[in-house]
Structure 1
């Protein structure tokens, strides 16, 4: 083999070596298109048929999932309603407990008022008014007054007095005032009842 047998492009360091280096450094247009296409791949392209199969399974189960969701929502709504009702009951019970403890004090104030101890301008009158205001803010109502029709659900008859002309049982005298807190009966009114004479 002679020197003439070598092509200039094949000889290292020849004139063709610079062209070959430029050719090698220049990126392949086909490779560039593939690389640009990789940036635009969608999730479906990456996942292939797995995504569509999974979507089909979810669609098939959709009615059951919807029913389950509605059931959970209904259970939560019921739970919230029961919790709110229970909370209201506990609040009323707590208020009733406090008010029940104050009833003997209110009775003492009523007795003091009957005996004239709650005179205008006295310190005891100021205390009585404040205490009655607190009880009223709790929602406690007092009931039972002479002349009212006797109701066995609200009043406790201590004595029945046969009275001429009495057609219906009527309260003659209130021995102990009754108190209620909303629908809760704290204490029935103890009364003397006039009944029809035989």
Structure 2
């Protein structure tokens, strides 16, 4: 093959082609027929196996260290750890029971307030209808409500509705006077009474459960001096 000249007139050396390196790993030499020494291959394999064995033994070494750390704890330290765990569980249980009790108390307060608000609204509505109930009572006292008359039926339905909500009259002639439920409009001295006593009911009072809707207006006998 002719060598090419460069621009200076010098001849360029021929380029050598790079050939791939081929490693013969056959156990038997193809030329002599002898068995080759496998020491080189075994050395490489042993290096890989050693790496695997070293990595495999690492967890075992970690477990051994953990076991030795546990074994290094004294009985007093273990007792302290157990006591701390017991105290933590007891504290968490106490907090849970306290939270449950607060929740029950909250629900009780809500239900109580709801019932009180309901009674207050009903009492206010009934209080606004009491003048009509007073007029029906006066009409009945004067004999204007006869059996079977339309007004009598209306009065009966109205009173039944009030009874449904637990409305009860307070104040009756001859009862002891109670300032919590009675309002004294007139006081009449009477030597026959020892305590203040209702002489007459001018306007009936009413209670709704434990709530006073309206005190009874009464005339009162008072002991004479």
Query: CA offset at residue 138 of structure 1?
Result: 0.6
Counterparts of residues 116-155 of structure 1 (less than 5 Å): 116-155=143-182
For 1:131 and 1:72, the matched residues in 2 are separated by 47
Which residue does 1:85 correspond to in 2?
112
TM-score by length of 2: 0.61
Which residue does 1:158 correspond to in 2?
185
Which residue does 2:11 correspond to in 1?
none
Among candidates 88, 92, 110, match of residue 65 of structure 1: 92
Among candidates 175, 182, 191, match of residue 218 of structure 2: 191
Among candidates 177, 185, 197, match of residue 170 of structure 1: 197
SS in 2 for 1:118: coil
Query: CA offset at residue 79 of structure 1?
Result: 0.9
Query: CA offset at residue 167 of structure 1?
Result: 2.3
For 1:109 and 1:167, the matched residues in 2 are separated by 35
For 2:31 and 2:153, the matched residues in 1 are separated by 131
Q: What residue ranges of structure 2 are gaps of 5+ in the alignment?
A: 1-28, 36-65, 68-81
Deviations 1:111-169 (A, max 9, x none): 11122221111000000000000000011100211111212221111011112322222
- Aligned-residue CA RMSD in angstroms? 2.7
For 1:175 and 1:132, the matched residues in 2 are separated by 19
Aligned length: 154
For 2:85 and 2:158, the matched residues in 1 are separated by 66
Q: Which has the higher contact order (CA 8 A, sep 6+)?
A: 1
For 2:208 and 2:223, the matched residues in 1 are separated by 32
Query: CA offset at residue 59 of structure 1?
Result: 6.1
Q: 1:60 to 1:180 in 2, by over 3 A?
A: closer
Deviations 1:148-192 (A, max 9, x none): 121222111101111232222221110000100111111111001
